[in-house]
Every structure is written in structure tokens, then in C-alpha cells.
């Protein structure tokens, strides 16, 4: 795992967060206004003799939505969404069709208005950075979850992640601009897969998947929270993590300010002489947790390793370890020194010589630029090929 805060300047993170929130605020407020208007109308027409055309006119008169959006937004409140269509506005007279009954309409409106005012406060859901692991933040969020439980059926449509990722790269803000701004070119969880953000003109091409660290299924309030969206590869996000219900008490987020060097080191164990000298892949790559001094951090990181199948997946890269071992064997642990001494006019620094020798970055703050940078450095160091000068 790599820490986003170790690799991306904090000012850049805050700038991107503000851009993200400013854009998202507008859409959330529009949706809140619509649902406040909708339930106000439902309160007014409940059980009355009134035609479908009149009901439609009352609901759409506010023009809060595009005419193509009303059906999908209204379906959200139905027990059986397929029962509502543009031709069935008369069904809105009967609360028996809804996920909430008339006696609770006022509560729904009250909570929607409260949520709208909360969105304009300094300490709100989009600004909330739970990765800082402050107890006051956790208590605040836990309280909000309980408060808004009665309108949970609306939250997925209000904090609409599907809408956000469907936005084209040419829009004012979108998932492509978020990931491009972060500049994370490698999966934050595994550091093994490239996750480039590329567009073709105004059209989508490829970008990292955005994992919800706290799953949106259980945390719809955080579906569009900047710090809950983690750039990741498909293997980690979809194949490994899937529906696992992460929490900050049990797992580590890439937004936490913890360097990978404080969490673990890669090492290797040869199973034969040929494996030891780089003539075969007869070896195992192992993960050393002993560097993590804090017991809680160590336990949480072990949970990450387990979910993302790190022990299994890292051993698919034995070829890289074999190459490092072979360099060590043929140069008698002096590969980098030989490189520096062979080209004295180049005046290579240790970092420059290391990058030429191993094709990867030496500085941990650059690990987000190339896959397997952590594995490469740890193995080079543990074999003795890389000696850090004091």
C-alpha cells in the first residue's frame, strides 16, 4: 500500500477536495430541494381526488430537474419502483405505495432541510476526513447515521455516485479530473497495477476505479466524500475487496499519513542454491510486519494484506526478485557502485544510479509513479545490493 498523503502535496489534495466539494454541493442541494418539494406536494395531495396531470404539474412546476430525470427520482420512494412511470402520477396520491407513510412525511421534510443546512456548514459530510481517525469525527459521523436513518431510502439518490462517475471528462468536474489531479499512476492498495487517467478528446478512455473505503452500501452519506474515494485497480477493488465492509478500526486507508516503510518490508527466502543466486525462481517473497511498532496499526495492516491477497499476488513477481538476485551475484553486491564508478563524468547520485540499475524510483514519495517500486527497493536493500549511506 502507498499513502496518498506521502505522495501528493497536501495543498494539492486540499485544492482538489475544494473543487470536488464545490461541484458536488450544487448537485446535492438541487436533489435535496427536489425531494423537499416532492414530499411537500405528497403531503398536500395525499388521498385527495386529483388527476395525474395535475399532480405531475405540481411536482414538475419547480423545474428543479431536467424533464428526463423525474421518473428515476420519484421511483426511489416507491416500495416497488417498477410500479411508477411517467403515466402513473395518480399513484402518488397513496402512501401505501411508498417506503414511508404519510405520518412520517413531515419528518422526512425536516431531515431533508436539516441535511441541506448541514451541507453548508464548515463541518459537513463532504468535508469530513475520517482518515485522520479523530474520535470526535467518528462520533459525529455515527450520530449523523442515526439521525438520517429514516431517509436512508433517499440517500443513494441524493449522494449519487453513479451520476458522478457517468459524467464526461469535458464537464466542469468529474471522476477523470479527480484522479488526474491526484496523479496517482499506480494502485494505492497494491502498488502493482498501472492506473493511468487518460481521455480521448472529450471522451472517456481509462482511469482508476474509485473504491469506497467505507462501502456506500452501508455508508450512503459518504458515497461522494472526497476522502472515501480511493484510486485503485480492478483487481484490488472488484476482485479482492468486493463487498467487504471496511472500517477505520480494522483496516488502513491510503489517505492515512503512514508511510509504507513504517508498515512492512518485503523480503525473500530462497528454496535452493539456484534460487539464491538468481538462476531460478525457486524462492518465496515474504512480508515482514515486524517494522510496524504500533500493535493497532500492525493488526489493521495485516487485515489489508489478507483482503487484498498480498502474499499470493506478490509471489507472481518472482521474476523481478530473480533479476535483482542475479545482479547481486554477478557484481558481488557492488552493482550500484560499479555503475557509478564506470561513468564518473555522469556524477550519478545513489538515487540516480539506483533508478538506472533497477528501473524504478528510490524515493518513497515517488512510489505512486511506477508499479512494484516498494518491492524493488526492499529486495535490493535486503539482498545487500543497495546500501544506504549515512
pLDDT for 345-380, tens place per residue? 999 999 999 999 999 999 999 999 999 999 999 999
Q: Considering only CA atoms, which of 41, 38, 30 is closest in space to residue 64?
A: 30
CA-to-CA separations, 34 to 66, 110, 155, 249, in angstroms, rounded: 11, 14, 13, 36
Is 106 a domain residue? no
Instruction: Let me know if residue 375 belongs to a domain.
Output: yes
Output the CA–CA distances (angstroms, integers) from residue 213 to 100, 130, 217, 236, 246, in the order listed: 30, 10, 11, 12, 6
With respect to residue 70, please indicate whether it lies within any of the assigned structural domains.
no
Band the pLDDT of 121: cuts 50, 70, 90.
low
Domain residues for the domain of 339 are 260-294+310-383
Read off the pLDDT band of 122 (50, 70, 90): low
Q: Domain total for the chain?
A: 1
Q: How far apart are CA 61 and CA 307, in angstroms?
A: 50
- 200 strand-pairing partners: 203
In a domain, 198, yes or no: no
Residues in the chain: 390
Is 250 within the bounds of a domain? no
pLDDT-based confidence at residue 22 (cuts at 50, 70, 90)? very high
Q: Which three cell numbers stand for residue 380?
A: 535490493
Residue 378: exposure state from Cβ atoms within 10 A (0-12, 13-18, ≥19): buried
Residue 347 maps to a domain: yes
Crossing angle, helix 105-118 and helix 135-147, to 10 degrees?
A: 150
Q: What is the pLDDT of residue 384?
A: 82
As a whole number, mean pLDDT of residues 55-77 equals 93
Is 278 a member of any domain? Answer: yes
360 CB-side CA count, 13 A = 22
Question: Is 340 among the domain residues?
Answer: yes
Q: Nine-digit cell at 172?
A: 466542469
Mean pLDDT of 73-95: 92
Amino acid at each position: 500500500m502507498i499513502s496518498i498523503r506521502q505522495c501528493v502535496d497536501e495543498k494539492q489534495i486540499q485544492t482538489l477536495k475544494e473543487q470536488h466539494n464545490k461541484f458536488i454541493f450544487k448537485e446535492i442541494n438541487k436533489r435535496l430541494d427536489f425531494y423537499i418539494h416532492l414530499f411537500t406536494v405528497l403531503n398536500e395531495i395525499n388521498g385527495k381526488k386529483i388527476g395525474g396531470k395535475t399532480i405531475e404539474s405540481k411536482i414538475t412546476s419547480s423545474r428543479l430537474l431536467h424533464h428526463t430525470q423525474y421518473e428515476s427520482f420519484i421511483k426511489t420512494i416507491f416500495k416497488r419502483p417498477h410500479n411508477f412511470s411517467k403515466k402513473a402520477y395518480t399513484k402518488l396520491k397513496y402512501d401505501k405505495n411508498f417506503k414511508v407513510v404519510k405520518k412520517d412525511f413531515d419528518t422526512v421534510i425536516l431531515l431533508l432541510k436539516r441535511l441541506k443546512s448541514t451541507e453548508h456548514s464548515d463541518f459537513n459530510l463532504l468535508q469530513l476526513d475520517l482518515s485522520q481517525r479523530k474520535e470526535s469525527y467518528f462520533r459525529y459521523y455515527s450520530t449523523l447515521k442515526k439521525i438520517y436513518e429514516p431517509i436512508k431510502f433517499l440517500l443513494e439518490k441524493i449522494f449519487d455516485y453513479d451520476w458522478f462517475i457517468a459524467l464526461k471528462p469535458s464537464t466542469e468536474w468529474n471522476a477523470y479530473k479527480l484522479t488526474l489531479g491526484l496523479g496517482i499512476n499506480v494502485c494505492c492498495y497494491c502498488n502493482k497495477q498501472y492506473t493511468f487517467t487518460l481521455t480521448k478528446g472529450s471522451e472517456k478512455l481509462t482511469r482508476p476505479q474509485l473504491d469506497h473505503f467505507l462501502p456506500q452500501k452501508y455508508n450512503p452519506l459518504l458515497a461522494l466524500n472526497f476522502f472515501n474515494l480511493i484510486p485503485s485497480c480492478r483487481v484490488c477493488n472488484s476482485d479482492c475487496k468486493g463487498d467487504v465492509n471496511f472500517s477505520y478500526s480494522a483496516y488502513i486507508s491510503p489517505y492515512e499519513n503512514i508511510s509504507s516503510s513504517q508498515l512492512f518490508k518485503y523480503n525473500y527466502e530462497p528454496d535452493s542454491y539456484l534460487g539464491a543466486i538468481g538462476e531460478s525462481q525457486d524462492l518465496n517473497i515474504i512480508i515482514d510486519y515486524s517494522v510496524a511498532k504500533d500493535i493497532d496499526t500492525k493488526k489493521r495492516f495485516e487485515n489489508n494484506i489478507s483482503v487484498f491477497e498480498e502474499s499470493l499476488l506478490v509471489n507472481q513477481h518472482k521474476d523481478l526478485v530473480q533479476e535483482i538476485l542475479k545482479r547481486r551475484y554477478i557484481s558481488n553486491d557492488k552493482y550500484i557502485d560499479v555503475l557509478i564508478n564506470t561513468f564518473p563524468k555522469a556524477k550519478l547520485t545513489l538515487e540516480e544510479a539506483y533508478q538506472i540499475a533497477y528501473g524504478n524510483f528510490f524515493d518513497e514519495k515517488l512510489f505512486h509513479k511506477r508499479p512494484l517500486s516498494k518491492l524493488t527497493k526492499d529486495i535490493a536493500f535486503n539482498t545487500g545490493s543497495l546500501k544506504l549511506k549515512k
